[in-house]
Structure 1
Amino acid sequence: MGFAEKRGNYWRGRYKVAPGKHLTVADDQGRTIRFATKGEAQRAASEAENKYRRGDWRDPALGQETFGEYASRWYEAQDLAASTMQNYKRHIEEHLLPDFEDKALVGILRTDVELWEKKERALYAASSVKTWRSTLHLILEDAIDEGLLTSNPATRRRGRGKRAGRSRDRGPEKVITDALGILLTAERASLLSGRDDEFVAVVHKGYTGVRWAELVGMETEFARPGSFRVEWQLYELDTGELVRVPPKDDSYRTLDSPDWLSALVASHIARTKPTPCPCHGKTYVYRGLGAARTGGHQGAKLTDVARCAGVSTGTVSNVLNHPARVAEATRAKVEQAIADLGFVRGTVSEHAPHWRRNGFATWLFTPAVSGWYPKKAPQEARPVPLLGEPWPGVPSRGRNATDRADACWVPVAKGLTPHGLRHTHRTMMEDLGTEKVLMDERMGHIDGSVSARYAHVTPGMRRRLMAGLTEQWEAALDARLAMCPTSPVRVLNDLLRTRRDARELVLPG
């Protein structure tokens, strides 16, 4: 039974937790509670002893562990996917520890969390801050389960500031495009890269809605006639390593493919003849851009060859990759420079095994959709310099590229990102009246509602969607054909010619 003990001008409560061992009633910070009367102290001590016997008791001293100490212990106990562990590590180290590392767990107040969030929102996007607060909430919730806290200061109170909250959390409108926008973006990305791979990949992504990592991780064995199987993804860690992991949220799925898209990808595979990559030993549909220089190559670089031959790096690249495009005299000059300098290409493969998310978005996708290269120190944002012929313009490269240019691209969909093509695909399906159950299956989403349990995908739904996507694709080709009947991108030029011939066959006379 708890008892009261006189201490000078106040009373304290004492209770038994083991033979010969007594503790003092304390607050959440571990400080002794000073009672004004003996009765108050005795009642508090008896209540504390009863909690201890019921198993509800916790040592107040445990709450003095700092957030930094607990977060480190919490992180080490997690056993999650490498991508998730990386994200948690970044959230904790870059956004939570600077403000909460030295604070005792029990000393973190709701006002502290609100002030932290206000400061972060002044620097970062609202959606990002919301994610970091969710991580903080998760960590503190686990601290409650361990008996270190009694409440979670990162919990949002329902109904409080509701309207303002919705407005505050609202992010910028997501930029999307349409079927013609996908086609034009794919053409420009291919012109920027100097090969057909990017054209096929952008069209593939726009008409299937796959995630970026799923596209990069698409293995040739899963590109089948009439479908694509999403079985793996290649997730890029901060270290630059690409790890082969299951798709996000285990969203394994088979995506129906229109005949024309399956044929486009199959022709791409037959043309590029992909081989197993050195990092995973798997054969992927798409390869990276640029020569793979691994093993610490220290010899002459492509820029050295260009300088020695007095040509642009783009010309040297064409001699290496597309010699037929270069005049014979120029080609001979470049080949002599290569021999003189002892230039050696990438020793692993002609191209890097895989795209890098940042490189693809910065130097291919963003310039394709906006017509501008983004700001990248030390250079400011600048329009893509173009040689006006052939239409729609070929990027001017090398020394004095801007001075030699005579045109630039107008935006297709400024602000569109590679992930925006996923939103675009969903919107295209909505426009076609596709049933929600099929859209969720295709996007890899799970609808946990009771209604969704009774909805099932039928062959008729699949046929209607494939017919609708084919109609959108053909309309985009017709619109592109009306702009110009040819394209510098070989694969698109073939598609335009085939489409033109097909239309001429059905026209009267």
Structure 2
Amino acid sequence: MGYGENRGDYWRARYKIARGKYGTVLDANGKAVRFKTQRQAEKAAAVAEENVAKEAAQPVTVPEPERMTFGEYASGWYEEQDLAASTMQNYRRHIEEHLLPEFENAIVDEITRADIEAWERKERGRGYAESSIKTWRATLHLLLADSVEEGLRDANPATRRRGRGKRAGRSRRRGPEKVVTDALGALLIAERSALLSGRDDEFVANVQIYYTGNRWGEVVGLETEFVRRGSIRVEHQLYELDSGELHRCPPKDDSYRTIDTPPFLDGLLFGQIARTSPKPCPCHGLTYLYSGHGAANGATSRPGAKLADVARLAGVSTGTVSNVLNHPNRVTEQTRVKVAKAIAELGFVRGGGAGERAPHWRRNGFAQWLFQPAATGWYPKKAPEEAHPVPVLAEPFPGIPARGRGASGRATACWQPIAKGLTPHGNRHGHKVTLDELKTPKVLVDERMGHIDGSVSARYSHVTQTMRDELMEGLTRVWESALDLRRQMCPTSPVAVLDRLLTGRPA
């Protein structure tokens, strides 16, 4: 008997062709007709079943089954999808880069389980991560599942059979455990990131991720109007597409939420606004809390020494450095000597760091040239240079990065690793670990992280003000403990915002 099949925002008409086999009502182009109501779909299915019955009553020549290649089907399938830009981009990448090279000319109903397993072995042999191969197979499974529903084949060969095959070696195919760090490690990485960028913005952003659990796109897309006393509101994210465009879209899985913020984080966030006076960006016309650290032309290579670096090393303000360069008669000889020495040690080139800033961070630029060197103490490989330690001038602690030509020769030390393998997203995991250590109720953890618990018990759990207050007190204790440990290493910092925090702590 025909029926209407709910497909989310539309209905498909399904009708019986033979015992255990159903077809879908198609339009003139061979695409499934999308009905607005269940009733419309049921009527169309009933008509289709009548036509099948009439044809069955008359002797006809059975036509050859449709022979469509996987490439043809995948192309039509992709055009029918209406999903988020990030999801469409990922599907296209999976199909074009990993599925079509193997299956493009294969007939859809002739692809076998053995073919898919052989493809997996090839991908593994090319050095791809097991988690990536699993993701690509999931896309292949989705395509072939839809082809089954459209009657192009009888079963889905990409379905994994439970309890079959070798069990040995399964642990080797697991992805590596996510690297996390503690509150002191996060603080040190934030400090180093600010030293590498030459500004305080990266310090504030790293602290925000660790103490709120924000995703990277949510931090980049945080507008100043959603920064409030005691909370930040997650309404959008900026997702970087392959084209380089930063797409403003809802947060992942529609995880709109309000995240409570402790007073110390409020001070950092509102201090960021007061210090930088953010202006509307040219791409969206909106005012975001953070801007990019690189040049507006999109270059993400390691930046050279900046005016702020010289000021930090010389122990003066950036205005004083500017006077030394432009109005030397306004400063004393002693100050000129200090600034000149700092310029020589850092390899500062006048005008080298000038130019309009990019409106937003780029994921690779931030992760590769700021976060990774801060966490590991090493710059990544970039032809023609191999990976190498970050050269720094040992004083003041924790060391000022030496940049420009001959930086390694001028350096007196290098940074030790804090957390090898840590990524910006790892600080989101670190926030979850901190919540667990503070014994935070699961219902409040899910609210902060943007997760949904569909269990029955979750329906009877609710967040109370007492829970929120206890969590804010706990996060404040964690933060102050990290500050005290950092102060034991050195009571000052070349990062201005951290220096004020350290000097304001009781001895």
Normalising TM by the smaller chain, what interval? 0.7 to 0.9
2:420 pairs, out of 408, 414, 424, with: 414
Distance 1:51 1:472, change over 3 A: farther
What is the Cα deviation at residue 290 of structure 1?
2.6
Residue 396 of structure 2 aligns with which residue?
390
Partners in 1 of 2:88 and 2:414 — Cα distance? Answer: 43
Residue 157 of structure 1 aligns with which residue?
161
Partners in 1 of 2:259 and 2:385 — Cα distance? Answer: 41
What is the Cα deviation at residue 314 of structure 1?
2.1
Residue 360 of structure 1 aligns with which residue?
366
Matches within 5 A, 1:250-289: 250-289=254-293
Contact kept? 2:311, 2:321, Cα under 8 Å: no
Partners in 2 of 1:64 and 1:396 — Cα distance? Answer: 64
Partners in 1 of 2:352 and 2:111 — Cα distance? Answer: 60
| Deviates most, 367-376 or 169-178 | 169-178
Question: Secondary structure of the residue that 2:289 maps to in structure 1?
Answer: coil
> Unaligned regions of 5+ residues in structure 1, if any?
1-16, 18-48, 297-301, 304-311, 334-340, 505-509
Residue 130 of structure 2 aligns with which residue?
126
Matches within 5 A, 1:464-475: 464-475=470-481
Over residues 211-258 of structure 1, what are the superposed CA-to-partner deviations in whole Å (9 max), with x where a residue is unaligned?
A: 100100000000110001000000000000001000011010000100
Residue 26 of structure 2 aligns with which residue?
none
Residue 33 of structure 1 aligns with which residue?
none
Residue 324 of structure 1 aligns with which residue?
319
What is the Cα deviation at residue 156 of structure 1?
0.2
Contact kept? 2:443, 2:463, Cα under 8 Å: yes
Distance 1:429 1:166, change over 3 A: farther
2:97 pairs, out of 79, 94, 97, with: 94
Partners in 2 of 1:53 and 1:418 — Cα distance? Answer: 63
Question: Secondary structure of the residue that 1:116 maps to in structure 2?
Answer: helix
Partners in 2 of 1:323 and 1:140 — Cα distance? Answer: 61
Question: Secondary structure of the residue that 1:229 maps to in structure 2?
Answer: strand
Residue 41 of structure 2 aligns with which residue?
none
Residue 44 of structure 1 aligns with which residue?
none
Contact kept? 1:371, 1:383, Cα under 8 Å: yes
Residue 306 of structure 1 aligns with which residue?
none
Residue 448 of structure 1 aligns with which residue?
454
Residue 46 of structure 2 aligns with which residue?
none
Partners in 2 of 1:204 and 1:344 — Cα distance? Answer: 26
Distance 1:344 1:382, change over 3 A: closer
2:466 pairs, out of 460, 469, 475, with: 460
Question: Secondary structure of the residue that 2:283 maps to in structure 1?
Answer: coil
Contact kept? 1:289, 1:355, Cα under 8 Å: yes
The answer to whether residue 75 in structure 2 is matched with residue 67 in structure 1 is no
Contact kept? 2:211, 2:431, Cα under 8 Å: yes
Contact kept? 2:199, 2:308, Cα under 8 Å: no
| Deviates most, 72-81 or 447-456 | 447-456
Identity score, percent: 64
Over residues 39-83 of structure 1, what are the superposed CA-to-partner deviations in whole Å (9 max), with x where a residue is unaligned?
A: xxxxxxxxxx989759xxxx8745410000000000000011110
| TM-score normalised per structure 1 | 0.79
Contact kept? 1:293, 1:345, Cα under 8 Å: no
Partners in 1 of 2:387 and 2:477 — Cα distance? Answer: 37
Residue 144 of structure 2 aligns with which residue?
140
Matches within 5 A, 1:71-90: 71-90=74-93
Letter in 1 for 2:266: S
What is the Cα deviation at residue 262 of structure 1?
1.0
Residue 7 of structure 2 aligns with which residue?
none
Matches within 5 A, 1:230-309: 230-293=234-297
The answer to whether residue 186 in structure 2 is matched with residue 182 in structure 1 is yes
Question: Secondary structure of the residue that 1:314 maps to in structure 2?
Answer: coil
Matches within 5 A, 1:430-445: 430-445=436-451
The answer to whether residue 479 in structure 2 is matched with residue 479 in structure 1 is no
Distance 1:258 1:411, change over 3 A: same
2:305 pairs, out of 314, 318, 334, with: 314
| Deviates most, 400-409 or 456-465 | 456-465
Residue 307 of structure 1 aligns with which residue?
none
Distance 1:163 1:441, change over 3 A: farther
Contact kept? 2:230, 2:266, Cα under 8 Å: yes
Distance 1:66 1:370, change over 3 A: same
Partners in 1 of 2:437 and 2:419 — Cα distance? Answer: 18
Contact kept? 1:141, 1:152, Cα under 8 Å: yes
Question: Secondary structure of the residue that 2:424 maps to in structure 1?
Answer: coil
What is the Cα deviation at residue 351 of structure 1?
1.6
Question: Secondary structure of the residue that 2:205 maps to in structure 1?
Answer: helix
What is the Cα deviation at residue 167 of structure 1?
2.0
Residue 14 of structure 1 aligns with which residue?
none
Contact kept? 1:126, 1:171, Cα under 8 Å: yes
Over residues 459-509 of structure 1, what are the superposed CA-to-partner deviations in whole Å (9 max), with x where a residue is unaligned?
A: 12111111111110000000000000000000000000112xxx35xxxxx
Residue 507 of structure 1 aligns with which residue?
none
Contact kept? 1:63, 1:149, Cα under 8 Å: no
What is the Cα deviation at residue 291 of structure 1?
3.1
Partners in 2 of 1:415 and 1:202 — Cα distance? Answer: 16
Contact kept? 1:318, 1:326, Cα under 8 Å: no
What is the Cα deviation at residue 147 of structure 1?
1.0
Distance 1:343 1:409, change over 3 A: closer
Partners in 1 of 2:76 and 2:253 — Cα distance? Answer: 25
Contact kept? 1:63, 1:104, Cα under 8 Å: no
Aligned residues: 427
1:494 pairs, out of 485, 494, 500, with: 500
Question: Secondary structure of the residue that 1:326 maps to in structure 2?
Answer: helix
What is the Cα deviation at residue 320 of structure 1?
12
Q: RMSD between aligned alpha carbons?
A: 2.9
What is the Cα deviation at residue 283 of structure 1?
0.3
Partners in 2 of 1:75 and 1:487 — Cα distance? Answer: 53
Contact kept? 2:307, 2:318, Cα under 8 Å: no
What is the Cα deviation at residue 378 of structure 1?
1.7
What is the Cα deviation at residue 449 of structure 1?
1.8
Partners in 2 of 1:457 and 1:164 — Cα distance? Answer: 44
Question: Secondary structure of the residue that 2:409 maps to in structure 1?
Answer: helix
2:115 pairs, out of 112, 116, 119, with: 112
